[in-house]
Amino acid sequence: SIEEYMTVEGISLRLIDTAGIRDTQDTVEALGVERARDYINKADIVLCVIDGSTPLTPEEIEILTSV
């Protein structure tokens, strides 16, 4: 993940760009997915970016309904 801190009109923000959430058998990638889910659970606001050029997958729908 990539983190950046900023202040907008006196409000401190921490932006975190995660690698994404998907099913994977790769151990390292699975750790990244777990970290992304932890960030989501702790966040006050979540911005979910999804490729709009293709229909939503069941996995994407699950993510959207969980945040």
How many distinct structural domains can be found in the chain?
1
Flag whether pLDDT at 67 surpasses 90.
Answer: no
pLDDT digits (tens, 9 = 90+) for 25-56: 899 988 988 898 898 889 999 988 888 999 99
What torsion, rounded to 10 degrees, do the Cα atoms 58, 53, 18, 39 define? -50
Average the pLDDT over 6-26 and give the result: 90
- Its domain, for residue 50, covers 2-66
- Answering whether pTM is above 0.85, one says no
Q: Which residue bears the tokens 């911005």? A: 47
Flag whether pLDDT at 20 surpasses 90.
Answer: no
- Output the average pLDDT for the chain: 89
What are the backbone dihedrals phi and psi of residue 51, each rounded to the nearest 5 degrees, phi first?
-65, 115
pLDDT score of 24: 86
